[in-house]
Structure 1
Amino acid sequence: MTMATEAISVRTPARGAGHDLRAIKVVLHREMLRFVNDRTRMLSMLLQPVLWLFVMGTGLGSLVQGSIPGVDFRTFMYPGMISMTVIMTGMFSAGSIVWDREFGFLREMLVAPVSRGAIVVGKCLGGALVATGQGVIILAMAGLVGIPYSPALMLTLLAEMFLAAFTITAFGVLLAARMKNMQTFFGLMQMAIMPMVFLSGAMFPLANLPSWLHFLTVINPMTYAVDPMRQAVFSHLDVPAQVNAALNPGVQWFGYQVPVPLELGLVAALGGVLLMFAVAQFRRAE
């Protein structure tokens, strides 16, 4: 007696924009949960900029207070410390890709019936939101360094933080796309991030620099993320014109003063390009 076997069909959900949007939401939600549940990481990411701002800023301020009357040097450093917080947190968020690869979770995401672009976008948005949330804590310290809690200023800094965070997270995702272990990623991250931070004007004014140092700051992408924040902060301060010219000269290309909208446009364009390269790397990944 033979028994007839009946084939069971398996239907894979069709891919579409709605499907990819749900995937972005899931990846973003996972990044947020991972960050909220890791309080040690939250504290460690805040420690370095707080030390730079209140310890190093106070020490350096005692040396230059005579040349910048009416301005606390920590006020000058404040936008740079926001940028440092956003940059470090965004890169560490991107590093979770390497962790997921080591423990096999990334493979599960890559074989899911969603586009790899959706996974990358979710990672970048999640990292950007996490970094912006971390930056909000530094934002809350504005009054401690003489910066007014103006709603317009806070909203401007918040938007600029998110833009910088998205761009740096996209850069981190691009680096992490082919990395096999965390040690390699963090070594490469330190090699890439520290020069970008030091050459962005986060810790020193961009005025009267030697030509070689001016050139390095101009070609550094993070300069165009730090300068708009400093321009926003100084626009809400009442400082002498000569002090403003010394501490907040802006970015110049051969004598041309680069406007803030162009700086933000450059950061946004760079973020888009890095995102596209990151998606391309993920599509080639195993």
Structure 2
Amino acid sequence: MTDLGTVYAIWLRELKHSLRDTGQLTGAFLRPILWVMIFGIGLTPYFRGGFTEATFVVPFTYAQFIFPAVAVLNVMYASVQSGVSMIWDREFGFFREILASPAPRPAVFAGKLLGGATVATLQGSLILILAPAADVPLSWHQTLAALGLLAVVALAFTSLAMAIASRMVSFQGFGVFANALILPAYFLASSIFPLDPSLSVEQQILVFPPWMVFAVRVNPVTYLIDALRMVSIRYTQFDPRLDLAVAGILPAVLMLVAYREFNRR
């Protein structure tokens, strides 16, 4: 019960701290509006009318296609903030106090992880409000499945952010390293452009540079976004079984890495 109390207290602290940060909340609202309402709707004519191959392979508007990817982007940004929060707590002595207390280290880690993942999931779910504007009809079952996948993404990237933050000693170093890792992972995840699933890898290389096709296919974020597309717009570019396998394995691996790095402190 003491362990659960520690987890709950730290989880609640993370949640309250994030809800009081108006900058985070403003960004979480404005980012989806920028992508879905401006880029999504504005580029739809070129996505469907300008490229006949895309029209055949991806029978959706651009807003519909990027809708799941923008939800993942919101989660990724919020997850990075959990790493910043961790460095802040270490810099100003909160961790020294909490780790010097009888609170078990695993409970402290779990509270921090679950708090950051909860905030990231909530911010990612804000885009679901824009589903009617993007012409993405979501049933209750689809909404719940989407929230479950967003929680998986949040656990994975909050773990990654905590692992990076455990190695960093400054906010500036963390920001540079996190952006250098997370932004390429997002943009090379078929988030804003489709790979034709009807083509073989050899044929895709004729359309895209070989390094790009390779990067998209080995990038685990590709399969997380593809799983969310499967749930929200009933479209996948890859084997759904592979999507679900990555969604199950990636968070577990990153949580183990994060816990190991957390224990080094």
Q: Tell me the TM-score range normalised by the shorter chain.
A: 0.7 to 0.9
Mapping 1:3-22, distance limit 5 Å:
18-22=1-5
Q: Distance in 2 between matches of 1:283 and 1:44?
A: 32
User: Cα–Cα, structure 1 residues 185 and 168, in superposed 2: closer, same or farther, change >3 Å?
Assistant: same
Does residue 63 (structure 1) correspond to residue 60 (structure 2)? The answer is no
1:116 and 2:115 correspond? no
Quick check: 2:79–2:157 contact (8 Å CA) kept in 1?
Answer: yes
1:259 is the counterpart of 2:240:
yes
Q: 2:7 aligns with which of 6, 19, 24?
A: 24
Q: Name the CA shift for 1:116/1:223 in 2 (closer, same or farther; >3 Å).
A: same
Matches within 5 A, 1:155-170: 155-170=144-159
Q: Give the drift of 1:130.
A: 0.6
Residue 153 of structure 1 aligns to which amino acid in structure 2? Q
Task: Tell me if structure 1 keeps the 8 A contact 2:37–2:133.
Answer: no
8 Å contact from structure 2 (residues 47, 61) kept in 1: no
Matched residue, 1:15 = none
Larger gyration radius, structure 1 or structure 2? 1
Letter in 1 for 2:214: F
* Displacement after TM superposition at 1:58 (Å): 2.5
- Give unpaired runs (5+ residues) of structure 1: 1-17, 236-247, 252-257
Unaligned runs of 5+ in 2: 197-203
SS of match in other structure, 2:71: helix
- The residue identity in structure 2 corresponding to 1:173 is M
* Paired position in structure 2 for 1:5: none
SS in 2 for 1:144: coil
1:68-107 matches, cutoff 5 A: 68=55, 71-107=60-96
Identity %: 32
Q: Which residue of 1 aligns with 2:199?
A: none
Structure 2 residue 264 is matched with structure 1 residue 277: no
Residue 212 (structure 2) aligns with: 213
Q: Which residue of 1 aligns with 2:17?
A: 34
Matched, 1:192 2:181: yes
CA drift of 1:192 comes to: 0.7
Aligned residue type for 1:147? V
Cα RMSD between the aligned structures?
1.7
Indicate conservation of the 8 Å contact 2:87/2:169, yes or no.
yes
Q: Could you say which residue in structure 2 is the equivalent of 1:222?
A: 221
Q: Which one has the bigger helix percentage?
A: 2
Q: 1:121, 1:275 within 8 Å by CA — same for their partners in 2?
A: no
Output the CA distance in 2 between the equivalents of 1:176 and 1:160.
Answer: 24
SS at match of 2:220: coil
What is the deviation of 1:59?
2.8
> Are 2:162 and 2:262, in contact at CA under 8 Å, matched by a contact in 1?
no
1:268 aligns with 2:258: no
Aligned equivalents of 1:30 and 1:264: distance in 2?
32
CA contact (8 A) 1:97 1:176 kept: yes
Quick one: distance in 2 between partners of 1:45 and 1:23? Answer: 28
Matches within 5 A, 1:223-238: 223-235=222-234
Q: Following TM superposition, by how much is the alpha carbon of 1:76 offset from its aligned partner in structure 2, in angstroms?
A: 0.7
Q: Secondary structure at the match of 1:177?
A: helix
Q: Which amino acid aligns with 2:215?
A: L
CA contact (8 A) 1:167 1:268 kept: no
Instruction: Compute the displacement of 1:153 (Å).
Output: 0.9
What amino acid sits opposite 2:259 in the alignment? V
Residue of structure 2 aligned with 1:49, choices 32, 37, 40 = 32
| Equivalent pairs, count | 249
Separation of aligned partners in 2, 1:222 and 1:122: 25
What amino acid is the match of 1:97?
Answer: M
Contact persistence 1:170–1:275 (CA under 8 A): yes
Alignment-mate amino acid for residue 19 of structure 1: T
Q: Which runs of 4+ in 1 moved over 4 A?
A: none
